[in-house]
Structure 1
Amino acid sequence: MLSDLEAAWTDGKTYVAAELAFQKTRARFATAKLKTVVVFGAAALFVVVLALIGLTVGSILSLATLIGPLAATLVVVALLLLVAFILARRASASWAAVSKAFGSDGDQA
């Protein structure tokens, strides 16, 4: 009976040690991959911003031949500001919903 308990204790310690080693290895792997995700994600975001700048400049240059440079700039900027305003309103509405859900008054939608 005592030898069975010792064997179970030893097996338990071995299992815990193996599980800890596995979880440490898993955490190191996840950390390394997360660093890669952040680096490549930031690079992709940077390239997208450059592409959008190019699209904006190209739009202004294309419209400039039709309506003039100043009007083209104003039209493109106005459209971009409208898109930004719509996106900000949607973000604000989502933030308000989250704030309400976690508010201290107890009301949840």
Structure 2
Amino acid sequence: MAPLIEALHEAQVLALRQISENLAAQTKRLEGLTSKVDDVRERLARLEAQEAGKLVETLRGELRSALTRIDVLEAQRDRVAGVATFSTWIARSGPWFAAGVAAFLAGLGVRAAT
């Protein structure tokens, strides 16, 4: 019976050794997969950062375009405001100006008559 128990014990040790080797091989494979997943994660982060950079550049271009358009619109508004101010001044000052010109001409007419 002792040789049978010894053979059983050796078979158990051999099975445990085989399980241990298989477990070590699986651990190595898992470490390799973990490093690959980390590499993929880093690449994905870089790609997302590049995409974000592209979006930021696109937004900067659109912002520049919008600011240029705002400048043009403000310049146009300033011209319109200037014309409106001049028109208001003419409307207020026109009668006085016309009266001055008429008085000047009347003065020339009086001078010419004498």
| TM-score when normalising by structure 1 | 0.54
Which residue of structure 1 aligns with residue 31 of structure 2?
5
User: C-alpha deviations, 1:4-42, integer Å up to 9, x for none?
Assistant: 222111100001111111111121122122112211221
CA distance in 1, matches of 2:49, 2:78: 42
The one-letter code of the counterpart of 2:39 is K
Which residue of structure 2 aligns with residue 36 of structure 1?
62
Larger radius of gyration: 2
The one-letter code of the counterpart of 1:29 is L
**Secondary structure class of the residue paired with 1:20:** helix
Deviation at 1:57, TM superposition (A): 2.1
Q: How many residues align?
A: 68
CA distance in 1, matches of 2:63, 2:69: 10
Q: Which runs of 4+ in 1 moved over 6 A?
A: none
CA distance in 2, matches of 1:29, 1:43: 21
Which residue of structure 2 aligns with residue 46 of structure 1?
72
1:59 paired residue among 69, 76, 85: 85
The one-letter code of the counterpart of 2:84 is G
Residue 15, structure 1, aligned to residue 41, structure 2:
yes
Which residue of structure 1 aligns with residue 109 of structure 2?
none
Which residue of structure 2 aligns with residue 72 of structure 1?
none
CA distance in 1, matches of 2:38, 2:48: 15
Query: Which of structures 1 and 2 has the larger relative contact order (alpha carbons within 8 angstroms, sep 6+)?
Result: 1
Deviation at 1:59, TM superposition (A): 0.9
| TM-score when normalising by structure 2 | 0.52
Deviation at 1:2, TM superposition (A): 2.5
Identical columns (%): 3
Residue 27, structure 1, aligned to residue 64, structure 2:
no
CA distance in 2, matches of 1:38, 1:44: 10
Structure 2 residue runs of 5 or longer lacking an equivalent are: 1-26, 95-114
